[in-house]
């Protein structure tokens, strides 16, 4: 099976030297990619900027912006059996990127922001018989936010976690299937959680890999 996996943050530039991003380390996405590769799957990993060694036996493509990640994922999705979207993409970008470097004027500035491409939603809309598993990092009303993501982005399952996961080697996750039921709940090192997730995907879609 060939699995598309996204990981890490994306960046959206205000000018040529400053950007918006988030504190995602990419550890969870890289752990999922490694677990899938160890299980015998062919992995295509699309990663934003991270300070991590790429997992072995994965085809890796580094990107920077959300638009780049969206373009690559849409191009590769047709060759994959499913996607696990772990990346914490930047949801907004400046309407206009300033050329050069913004200089201080001593006065407040206003920057108009617009939404970036919704990578997961675009893949979910055209999934066909491929599986789509998303990650939802939620702080307020987490279960409600995860269920909304499950429905609006056409996911088959969503992994719910919280802000404590950012930058940590450990995580606490709930796995919610397409019916909205919690079908798994695990705490521990991210590599162990990644293994649980890959095993569940194999069982859910009756995939023999070994």
Q: What is the set of active-site residues?
A: 22
Identify the helix (H) or strand (E) that includes residue 43.
strand 42-47
Query: What are the tokens at 60?
Result: 């890796």
Q: Which helix (H) or strand (E) holds 184?
A: strand 182-189
Other Cβ atoms less than 10 A from the Cβ of 106: the count is 4
Give how far the C-alpha of residue 159 lies from the chain's centroid of Cα atoms, to the nearest Å. Answer: 10
For 114, counting Cβ atoms within 10 Å of its Cβ (0-12 exposed, 13-18 middle, 19+ buried), the class is exposed
Please give the Cα distance from 96 to 188 (Å, whole number): 42
Using a 10 angstrom Cβ sphere, with 0-12 exposed, 13-18 middle and 19 or more buried, the burial of residue 178 is: middle
């Amino acid at each position: 099976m060939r699995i598309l996996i996204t990981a890490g943050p994306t960046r959206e530039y205000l000018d040529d030297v400053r950007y918006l991003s988030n504190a995602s380390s990419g550890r969870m996405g890289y752990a999922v990619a490694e677990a899938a590769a160890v299980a015998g799957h062919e992995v295509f990993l699309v990663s934003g900027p991270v300070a991590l060694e790429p997992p072995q036996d994965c085809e890796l493509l580094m990107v920077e912006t959300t638009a780049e990640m969206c373009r690559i994922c849409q191009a590769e999705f047709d060759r994959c059996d499913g996607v696990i979207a772990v990346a914490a993409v930047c949801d907004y970008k400046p309407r206009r990127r300033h050329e050069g470097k913004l200089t201080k004027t001593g006065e407040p500035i206003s920057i108009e922001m617009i939404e970036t491409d919704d990578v997961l939603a675009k893949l979910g809309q055209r999934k066909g018989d491929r599986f789509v598993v998303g990650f939802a990092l939620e702080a307020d009303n987490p279960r409600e936010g995860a269920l909304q993501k499950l429905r609006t982005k056409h996911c088959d399952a969503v992994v719910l976690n919280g802000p404590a996961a950012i930058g940590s080697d450990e995580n606490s996750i709930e796995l919610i299937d397409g019916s909205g039921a919690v079908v798994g709940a695990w705490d521990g090192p991210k590599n162990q959680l990644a293994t649980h997730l890959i095993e569940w995907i194999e069982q859910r879609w009756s995939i023999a890999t070994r």
